Structure 1
Amino acid sequence: MADQQSPTLPTEETPDLPQDKKGRRKKLFIIFGVVLVVIAALVLAWQLIFAWRSVSTDNAYVGADVAQVTPLVSAPVSAVLVEDTQHVKKGDVLVRMDDSDARLALQQAEAQLAQARRRFRQTAATGQSLDARSTARQADIRAAQAQVDAAKANFDKARVDYDRRKALAANGAVSGDELTSATNALQTAQANLSLAQAQLAQMKATKNSAQSDAAANRALTSGTTIDTNPDVEAARAARDKAQLDLDRMVIRAPISGVIAQRKVQIGEQVAAGKPLMSIVPTGRLYVDANFKEGQLTSVRAGQPVELTSDLYGGDVVYHGKVVGLGGGTGAAFALIPAQNATGNWIKVVQRLPVRVALDPKELKAHPLRVGLSMEATVDVSGQ
């Protein structure tokens, strides 16, 4: 019994373990609170010192000046050579249309041009003929004038003979037969003179008519050649229009880009102006960043912009610049604008689109597509 040891009782030096854990936990909470205060202070300092240097928004989307491919003439489609998502270069053939009617129209226009050229040559030749006829009429006038002069001389001689015999007949020196012969000769000479004068007048009228015809013909060809004649030029313009319509039977890409919204099918009868497809110029994209109206105080054209895309994440940063600010908010240009003059009006913060140009080299390295979401940060420190 004496050798049996009694159990050891705790002394006052033994530490109270639960109380020690509470103390350490309290210290950790204090340290954590201090860290939070320091972080908040740093964030506040960053806001006060650096945040004013930029404005950001995630309400930004990729856009482009999409080219609409439309035919300029009406015809059936004979071949479609592209598909959606296909990349094309400027000048590549997209669609071919049946050109049978266009070829016939071109042949008809070429025939009309040849006829116009022939008519001009014929008119020019007719003018020369009319000039020669006018010259010939002048010779006829001279001959008629000579006949008038001869008839007048005969008339004067016949009148002198008649007057002499008439005077002698009163004394009985000339018989009645001689006086009758002289009278008949005078009347014949008078008739011949009148006929010669009429023929002269007719020759002069014929000459005037020939000169008028020649002048009218010269008016058709004066100051022009076979290439500058109005009728020939009109026929040539019709031929060129027919050739242009034939060339337009082959529709080519107006820009380089990616095919989108292809709607045309082989055999379809398309009308002029009907949209067939769109081409998105992926190398010339831009971003429309919609900033709140309170963020636009310091935004100016030419300021640098950093952008990130949801497609690539924050690892790829695009560098652009502000091109300009929109002329109105989205609400102002909406299909049904808001009517704020109502009794239940509630103020809504408006957003204004800011156009940002992208670097083509960066777009080539990391392509984007129209409509993708972007986050834009404008550096306004250099305002």
Structure 2
Amino acid sequence: MNMPKNIKIPVIFLLLLLLGSTLIYFGSRNDAVSVAKSIKSGVLTADEINVAFQNVSGKLLKRTVQESQHVKKGDVLMVLEDTDTQLAIDQLKAIIAGQEAAINQEQAAIKIAEDETNLSEVSTWRNIESTQANIDAAISARDFANTEYDRHTQLRKTGGASQSQLDSTRNTYISTKMSVIQLQSQLATLMVGATPDQIKQFAQTKNATGMTLQSIINARHNIENRQNQLAQLRAQLAQSQAELKQLEINYQRLTLTAPEDGKVLKLMYEEGELVPTGAPAVLLETDRQYVDIYVNEKMVNDFQPGTSVSANVIALDKTVKGKVRFATAAPSFADLRMTRERGQADLTSYQVRIYVDPIPHLLTGMTLEVDR
């Protein structure tokens, strides 16, 4: 059957259009929802960390690793020159030794001062008692001299004593009287600081033990001041010890070690270069590997944090286990805005991150398909 050319061409286009529409309707359209429904896949990625020298800087002495080398936690990566830090440590240790000697000297001096003060207190109590006894004896001598003087005065009036005898007894009386006054003044000086009750009790008992003495109070105040000086010396020592500890920590930090297992991606400095404080020195790809997949809101409940999942490694044809770390709303560009030819409403996409267990030959960049 021959069709006219002007009819045959439109019919062919109509048939092709009908066939294409049928294939599009029944086939995969490769949009976000269609892919999410059929294949939940992503590219394996590893966490990367920048390893830096903490609070130290200096000339790079040596590098102990190379790019692409796998390292274990604690392996040495780089070492800085330690000359200046070691000198500072030695100098500070000498200062600390001097401070410790000064503290020991001050402690010994305070102990000696305390012993001397205690001894002086007891000695002063006994001296007070001795002075009081001397006063009592001097008063007896004065009273006797006074009696003799009065007797000689009467005898002189009756001619029973000469003027020289009277003058001698008078001088003796005056001398003993002045001796009493001198001893009483000495006793008053020794008893400075004593309370009226203590003085009254001493007058009755003649025992000065326990009496408050101003000289002893002053001596103990001086000891307290020396204790303050000792506390200051100890504070200075503690500060120096803290500085030494910091220097020793900084000395350890001159050696840069791997914080965890991983592969060295990049070394930022060559031997001999100056490394500034806090600047990243090594880029390390850790052994913590994950894959990100995107699912719609109808599927996100199957991927709650902590959920265990399995995934197929296409390149290795092996299955790995993993655990969902988080599921969060993806950026708006990942949302599906439907044309509604299938009667679906707009759907929000969710980013699901799954950390996988390591297996041999599993490399970053490989594609994983999540089974769930």
Interval of TM-score (by shorter of Structure 1 and Structure 2): 0.5 to 0.7
The verdict on how the C-alpha distance between 1:375 and 1:248 changes in structure 2, with shifts beyond 3 A counting, is closer
User: By how many angstroms is 1:68 displaced?
Assistant: 2.0
Instruction: State the distance in 1 between where 2:58 and 2:79 align.
Output: 10
Q: Is the contact between residue 130 and residue 213 of structure 1 (CA under 8 Å) also seen in structure 2? A: no
Q: Are the counterparts in 2 of residues 155 and 190 from structure 1 also a CA contact under 8 Å?
A: yes
Does residue 162 of structure 1 match 2:146?
yes
**Aligned partner of 1:120: which letter?**
I
Letter in 2 for 1:325: F
Q: Does 1:277 align with 2:300?
A: no
Aligned to 1:320: 321
Gap change, CA 1:163 and 1:268, over 3 Å in 2:
farther
Please say if 1:267 is aligned against 2:282: no
Which of residues 124, 134, 147 in structure 1 aligns to 2:117?
134
1:1-383 equivalences under 5 Å are 56-58=39-41, 60-72=42-54, 73-138=56-121, 140-141=123-124, 142-143=126-127, 145-162=129-146, 165-166=149-150, 169=153, 172=157, 177-178=167-168, 180-182=170-172, 184-197=174-187, 200-201=190-191, 204-214=213-223, 232-281=237-286, 283-300=287-304, 301-309=306-314, 312=315, 316-331=317-332, 350-361=348-359, 364=360, 366-369=361-364, 372=365, 374-379=367-372
| CA shift in 2, pair 1:117/1:65, >3 Å | same
User: What is the TM-score with the length of structure 1 in the denominator?
Assistant: 0.65
Q: Deviation string for 1:335-366 (max 9, x for gaps)? A: xxxxxxxxxxxx975432212232312xx2x2
Alignment check: 8 A CA contact 1:77 1:96 kept: yes
Q: State how far apart, in whole Å, the 2-side matches of 1:191 and 1:267 are.
A: 90
Could you tell me which runs of 5 or more consecutive residues in structure 1 were left unpaired when the two chains were aligned. 1-35, 45-50, 223-228, 335-346
Cα 1:119–1:202 shift into 2, 3 Å: farther
SS of the equivalent of 1:323 reads strand
User: Structure 1 residues 95, 324: closer, same or farther in 2, change over 3 A?
Assistant: closer
**How far has the Cα of 1:205 moved from its partner?**
3.9
TM-superposed CA distance for 1:70, in Å, is 0.8
Q: Is the 8 A contact 1:90 1:256 kept in 2?
A: yes
Q: Secondary structure at the match of 1:66?
A: strand
Q: Give 1:71 deviation, angstroms.
A: 0.6
Give 1:164 deviation, angstroms. Answer: 6.0
Give 1:64 deviation, angstroms.
2.6
Q: Is the 8 A contact 1:69 1:279 kept in 2?
A: yes
CA distance in 2, matches of 1:86, 1:280: 10
* 2: CA distance, partners of 1:241 / 1:80: 25
Displaced runs of 4 or more, over 6 A: 218-222
Whichever residue aligns with residue 86 of structure 1, its letter is Q
Q: For residues 271 and 198 of structure 1, what CA distance do their matches in structure 2 show?
A: 75
Cα distance, 1:133 vs structure 2: 1.0
Q: 2 CA distance for matches of 1:56 and 1:117?
A: 73
Deviation at 1:215, TM superposition (A): 5.4
Q: Is the 8 A contact 1:320 1:356 kept in 2?
A: no
Partner amino acid, structure 2, of 1:318: T
Distance 1:55 1:139 in 2: 101
Contact map agreement 1:161 1:182 (CA 8 A) in 2: yes
1-structure distance, mates of 2:320, 2:259: 28
TM-score scaled by structure 2?
Answer: 0.67
More moved, 248-257 vs 201-210: 201-210
Distance in 2 (alpha carbons) for counterparts of 1:138 and 1:297: 87
SS in 2 for 1:161: helix
Residue 179 of structure 1, CA deviation: 6.4
For residues 313 and 172 of structure 2, the distance between their equivalents in structure 1, rounded to whole angstroms, comes to 129
Contact 1:109 1:235 in 2 (8 A): yes
* CA–CA distance in structure 2, aligned partners of residues 293 and 262 of structure 1: 42
CA separation of 1:252/1:298 partners in 2, compared to 1, >3 Å: closer, same or farther? closer
Give me the whole-angstrom Cα distance separating, in 2, the residues matched to 1:295 and 1:110.
Answer: 65
RMSD: 3.9
Which range is displaced more, 291-300 or 164-173? 164-173
